[in-house]
Structure 1
């Protein structure tokens, strides 16, 4: 098939939505499809990515309200005039044959971004959002997309996203198919994992008996680093043999917080990295106490590698941590701000027997959560909607 994919920003080294888009496009190309990605932003001079064609909106730049609206119109026109068999939009700002809102709905995203603040500051931020041209444009474009007859189906990457569509828009459930989020990981033997574990731990001066928790985020505040540092302080104060590895971009304030809490020696600031599989191999538990995540890529990747995970009820991937019909693979807390509940969950994970029980429950996920299976279901949905037209 000749397929169009749409995303505001195409960056193979970016966050979860960007990496997933690249992985989906690569999987589709690998099956013989002709794939073009339409985007508003991408790394400079990127015109192709392997066999994926990249087409960037002319005269693009920072995504202001005006540029978002122009991108929506431009991308929709490209799809309609490009003689494509079908199209997939990764954003609710642009309609397509199938919309797969990798970031969830704009409405829920804004509400959950407010949740990280105190009640007083939350009211101020809410007023700012209401006055923001860009925020208003996002909501307007989302409403237009969901009402556009071009959209034949929604492929939600979690039950959480499906609930957002029902709660905020009363979107017809028969047009929503849940296709759980997925990931692509490199092939690795037990020996390779053991080598990575030793290399990373030696590099950060972590001994074999230390329990390592890993946290990775592009937006540390939204993903719960504040409560995490408080919870970790309790563990360190109790004399537990633990280390917290932080991957991503972190402002100096977090190092200052670690100093103030007396935990700086137990925290390792890794910084931005494209080598998360090595960090998973070196770690014992993934901790992701997020205030909002449609379906966290890092949770999916960790579970695929057999790493028990801790997250919150505001993460669509938590369905994979505590599934309805199989044993838990970690723990889920209800309130991301509840650092005591988070500390309790992390303390449970210090016990090797508990970690092993959770890890045993992840067997088989490396295949079922693979991008191959995800794209199998996406192609099946594409075939269904194309056949109807």
Structure 2
């Protein structure tokens, strides 16, 4: 199979690109001729031919210009299957890993201050993204779609009812499970200056508004009199306002597995996440997860077994009750997850969809 893979930004070392790395490696190992079309890339992928697709212009124009440039570049060669991980104009398979831009804007309006709601979604960038999205979900432009949660599958059915549901494949995100079992709790706690009797929440992610960090900081501000409740924050975001004393800021971490190992619960309260990898990472470590129903990865959670799911990310009272549930059970206990978490299965199922599409 001669395959074209489209990814606007590629990095062989970025955590979010591990899926692409493994997929490229699996394709090469299976003897497929693989071409990667990207604007920028770092590192090398053995056996993969890189095609540079450079675009210029303002932020609002770049996604559309990249889609047009890739479409033009693809005309120079014939491929058995074109697999896009971006919103592009025409492809055989589209992986909707970022969910739906129009749903993200709906969530922003829902949780924005009243005065800001009319402004959400204005501007050329959002218009271009939604136009590209409509192109990607036009059944004349795309044969099959891969989603990483049933939540996103439902959003496609609602907003793009003309796209046949039988051509939508749910393949959940996977992680390197061994990596997230490689650090001991004792070593990790020592690194962050934590005591054994501390009950530690952890937040991992960047995107202040989207990931719900403001509500976690507000929760911690209200629990400053609890000397053994701590929040470990792994983010590259700049903090806004005063950070409570019971919050430990690590900055970005290349070895984020140490943060999970030090913690007792992942607290992650997004307003929109198609299927957050941090949930799978925490569950692979063995710690429970408190997240929201606006996160497709909440489908991995069985309430009271390996975590809890909040219907409202701003509901700090219910958040507190969920934290108390896990605190009463004692820290350091490993939870079990019903669904598989390994990245190898994700890659295997993706290959099956690509090969089926190439066969016609």
Query: Fold match, TM over 0.5?
Result: yes
- Whole-angstrom distance in 1 between the partners of 2:280 and 2:69: 33
Q: Which residue of structure 2 aligns with residue 210 of structure 1?
A: 198
Structure showing the higher helix proportion among its residues? 1
CA gap of 1:227–1:90, structure 2 versus 1, over 3 A, is: same
Structure 1 residue 340, shift from structure 2 partner: 2.0
Q: Which residue of structure 2 aligns with residue 163 of structure 1?
A: 154
Find the partner of 2:124 among 116, 133, 156: 133
Aligned length: 359
CA gap of 1:31–1:346, structure 2 versus 1, over 3 A, is: farther
Extract unaligned runs of 5+ from structure 2. none
- Residues 6 and 90 in structure 1, CA contact (< 8 A), matched pair in contact too: yes
CA gap of 1:87–1:269, structure 2 versus 1, over 3 A, is: same
- Whole-angstrom distance in 1 between the partners of 2:158 and 2:227: 43
CA gap of 1:188–1:341, structure 2 versus 1, over 3 A, is: closer
Is 1:22 the equivalent of 2:17? no
Tell me the alpha carbon deviations over residues 76-105 of structure 1, each in whole angstroms, 9 at most, x when there is no partner.
233343332212111233432111111011
Aligned residue for 2:278, secondary structure, equals helix
Q: Which residue of structure 1 aligns with residue 230 of structure 2?
A: 243
- Whole-angstrom distance in 2 between the partners of 1:145 and 1:122: 27
- Residues 92 and 142 in structure 2, CA contact (< 8 A), matched pair in contact too: yes
Aligned residue for 1:193, secondary structure, equals coil
Tell me the alpha carbon deviations over residues 147-171 of structure 1, each in whole angstroms, 9 at most, x when there is no partner.
2534111111101110111111113
- Whole-angstrom distance in 1 between the partners of 2:117 and 2:153: 26
Tell me the alpha carbon deviations over residues 318-353 of structure 1, each in whole angstroms, 9 at most, x when there is no partner.
000138xxx731000001122222222222222235
Q: How does 1:60-139 map to 2 (within 5 A)?
A: 60-61=55-56, 64-123=59-118, 125-126=119-120, 129-130=121-122, 132-139=123-130
Aligned residue for 1:109, secondary structure, equals helix
- Whole-angstrom distance in 2 between the partners of 1:340 and 1:12: 41
CA gap of 1:94–1:210, structure 2 versus 1, over 3 A, is: farther
Structure 1 residue 355, shift from structure 2 partner: 7.4
Structure 1 residue 301, shift from structure 2 partner: 1.3
Structure 1 residue 142, shift from structure 2 partner: 1.2
Tell me the alpha carbon deviations over residues 52-89 of structure 1, each in whole angstroms, 9 at most, x when there is no partner.
4433313x356633332221122123334333221211
Find the partner of 2:324 among 347, 364, 373: 347
- Whole-angstrom distance in 1 between the partners of 2:285 and 2:164: 36
- Residues 89 and 96 in structure 1, CA contact (< 8 A), matched pair in contact too: yes
Extract unaligned runs of 5+ from structure 1. none
Moved more, 165-174 or 81-90: 81-90
Moved more, 268-277 or 78-87: 78-87
* TM-score in terms of structure 1 length: 0.84
CA gap of 1:61–1:50, structure 2 versus 1, over 3 A, is: farther
CA gap of 1:200–1:328, structure 2 versus 1, over 3 A, is: closer
Aligned residue for 2:234, secondary structure, equals strand
- Whole-angstrom distance in 1 between the partners of 2:270 and 2:140: 34
- Residues 92 and 105 in structure 1, CA contact (< 8 A), matched pair in contact too: no
